[in-house]
Amino acid sequence: MAKQILSFTVNDEPVDVLVQPYVTLLDALREDLGLTGPKEGCGTGDCGACTVHLDGKPVASCLMLAMQARGHAVRTIEGLGAIGALHPLQDAFVRLGVPQCGFCIPGVLMAAAAVLAETKHPTEEDIRYGIAGNLCRCTGYTKMIAAISEAAEVVTQGAAR
Amino acid sequence: MRRFDLATPDNIDDCLKLLAERPAETKLVAGGTDLLPQMKNGLIKPARVIDLSGVPEVHVLAPDDGRGVRVGAAVTARQLERDPRIQSTYRSLAESGALVGSIQVRNLATVGGNICNAAPSADMAPPLVALDAEAVIAGPTGRRRVPMAAFFTGVRRTVLAPDELLLEFSVPAPGPHSGGCYLRHTPRRELDIAVVGVASQVTLADGVCTKARICLAAVATTPVRATAAEQALEGQRLTPQLIEQAATLAIEAAKPISDQRGSVEFRRHLVRVLTRRTLTTALARASA
């Protein structure tokens, strides 16, 4: 049960890291790479707090073995935007005061980013469907939907310019 | 999670060799969305796990020489939900894929995993049975094909031997004037497990039903075909009255249990309602 070399891309950087074969992608990101944005809520794929992108698609990183990410591109909330250069979603979440306790927010943002990548002018239904896999125990969904909707227009206008 | 060895083969032959070494202690992982929770809570404790994600053969989603479509065991629920060919010709399969877990789960969860996990409530099982799909199984002595209607042998039990693996599904094209539909009842719209699921598939010729398939989920130890209901439809013009009769006949095929999700009586009621609704939609789609 020796550690294995996991070679993949994390937030656009090539990474080689030694991981135990039985750890999840979430644990490797948090414990081995120090990326503590993705959270473990339930550990069974029900809450969405661990959502990251695998080759651009949102996945539950608690349900994947770390080694299954070999050769793939992973993006975490740390790679969505940066301080001073927030992603339009992050900017809208801050401006509208979406986060309450904040635990679910990294996962919600990654799920929302996938909605925006797939749909230019998402309807409220598109947004609700896109974040249906993310539980917010503060129940702050109304502001989330408003912020994602605003960000979608910012992204679309940015692309048009 | 309890410790295990992980093998990451890049072809089926290596997979089968690894599997043959100690089949009883080995588990195959594709998406992991059923397997990892079972391993985390200690329900299963494999000494070795073989990862199928690097094996190209199980990822195929392609036409089958004009006869239908090949759906690799590691094709994800989200792929089935969004693939235009699956949406147009194998609609019930796309509908069932769209109902599994959340988007985050569906991007990982595979059709082969849903089938091999063999839960009586597996959403993707009824459409595959109703579409007369066959499972293509690879083993040490070669390949064999098993009709999906004969694949399940009990709760979490299938015809797969410990040294075999599920390669893909061969799904025949339903042909012109065919329509299908999968519906399930759940108290919540998202992230829930079917109390009852029903897939219906009908083919028409000159307004007469030439073929009908109805498969029920979560009302027996395995997905079951409602053959008496199918026979009532074949050779007939499908009227609302006949569909209602078939829906009532479908109850005979159900042998449900009462549990926290629903009572025997409620499940029998759902079989009738969902059979009627899926047949009505399948007929409309076949007539379109």
Closest residue in B to A58 (Cα–Cα): B104
Instruction: Please report which confidence band the pLDDT of residue B189 belongs to, taking 50, 70 and 90 as the band edges.
Output: confident
* Partners of residue B113 in chain A, C-beta under 8 Å: none
Beta strands B48-51 and B26-29 are parallel
Which value, in Å, is the radius of gyration of the alpha carbons in chain A?
16
**CB contact B65 to A (< 8 Å):** no
Largest CA distance in chain B: 61
Instruction: Please report which confidence band the pLDDT of residue B188 belongs to, taking 50, 70 and 90 as the band edges.
Output: confident
User: Residue B4 pLDDT more than 90?
Assistant: yes
User: Residue A126 pLDDT more than 90?
Assistant: yes
* Partners of residue B4 in chain A, C-beta under 8 Å: 1, 21-22
Walk me through the domains of chain B, giving residue ranges and CATH numbers.
5-51 (3.30.43.10), 56-172 (3.30.465.10), 178-287 (3.30.390.50)
Beta strands B208-217 and B157-158 are unpaired
For the residues B242-248, what does the mean pLDDT come to?
98
- B33-47 per-position pLDDT tens digit: 999 999 999 999 999
User: Residue A161 pLDDT more than 70?
Assistant: no
Q: Which amino acid is at A114?
A: A
**Test mutation, A64, A72, A126, A134, chain B, max B CBs within 10 A:** A64
Q: Exposure of B177 by Cβ count < 10 A (0-12 exposed, 13-18 middle, 19+ buried)?
A: middle
pLDDT at A159: 75
User: Residue B191 pLDDT more than 90?
Assistant: no
Contact B33 A45 (CB under 8 A): yes
CB B107 within 8 A of CB A68: no
Beta strands A73-75 and A51-54 are antiparallel
Cα(A113)–Cα(A71) distance, rounded to whole angstroms? 22
Instruction: Please report which confidence band the pLDDT of residue B264 belongs to, taking 50, 70 and 90 as the band edges.
Output: very high
Question: Taking chain A, what is the end-to-end CA distance rounded to the nearest angstrom?
Answer: 53
Instruction: Please report which confidence band the pLDDT of residue B65 belongs to, taking 50, 70 and 90 as the band edges.
Output: confident
The DSSP symbol for A82 reads: B
Closest residue in B to A54 (Cα–Cα): B107
Walk me through the domains of chain A, giving residue ranges and CATH numbers.
4-79 (3.10.20.30), 88-160 (1.10.150.120)
Distance of CA A144 to the CA centre of its chain: 14
User: Residue B173 pLDDT more than 80?
Assistant: yes
Instruction: Please report which confidence band the pLDDT of residue B31 belongs to, taking 50, 70 and 90 as the band edges.
Output: very high
pLDDT at B1: 86
Please name the residues in contact with A7: beta carbons below 8 A apart, sequence gap of 6 or more: A14, A15, A16, A70, A71
Nearest CB to A58; choose among B3, B103, B190: B103
Q: What residue ranges in chain B does DSSP mark as E strands?
A: 5-7, 26-29, 48-51, 61-63, 68-72, 134-139, 142-147, 152-154, 157-158, 165-172, 178-185, 196-205, 208-217, 224-225
The dihedral built from the CA positions of residue A127, A130, A133 and A136, taken in this order, carries a sign that is negative
**CB contact B10 to A (< 8 Å):** no
Tell me the shortest Cα–Cα distance from B35 to chain A, in angstroms: 9
For the residues A2-22, what does the mean pLDDT come to?
97
pLDDT at B80: 98
Instruction: Please report which confidence band the pLDDT of residue A6 belongs to, taking 50, 70 and 90 as the band edges.
Output: very high
CB A41 within 8 A of CB A47: yes
**B188: how many CB neighbours lie within 10 A of its CB?**
8
pLDDT at B33: 97
User: Residue A104 pLDDT more than 80?
Assistant: yes
**Test mutation, B35, B76, B104, chain A, max A CBs within 10 A:** B104
**CB contact A19 to B (< 8 Å):** no
Residue B205: strand, helix, or coil? strand
Please name the residues in contact with A34: beta carbons below 8 A apart, sequence gap of 6 or more: none
- B119-153 per-position pLDDT tens digit: 999 999 999 999 999 999 999 999 999 999 999 99
- A74-90 per-position pLDDT tens digit: 999 999 999 999 999 99
Nearest CB to B37; choose among A4, A44, A71: A44
For the residues A128-150, what does the mean pLDDT come to?
97
Q: Exposure of B16 by Cβ count < 10 A (0-12 exposed, 13-18 middle, 19+ buried)?
A: middle
Contact B51 A23 (CB under 8 A): no
Mean of pLDDT over chain B: 97
Please name which of B55, B53, B38 lies closest in space to residue B4, comparing C-alpha atoms: B38
At residue A3, φ and ψ (nearest 5 deg) are -65, 155
CB B160 within 8 A of CB B19: no
Nearest CB to B108; choose among A1, A20, A60: A60
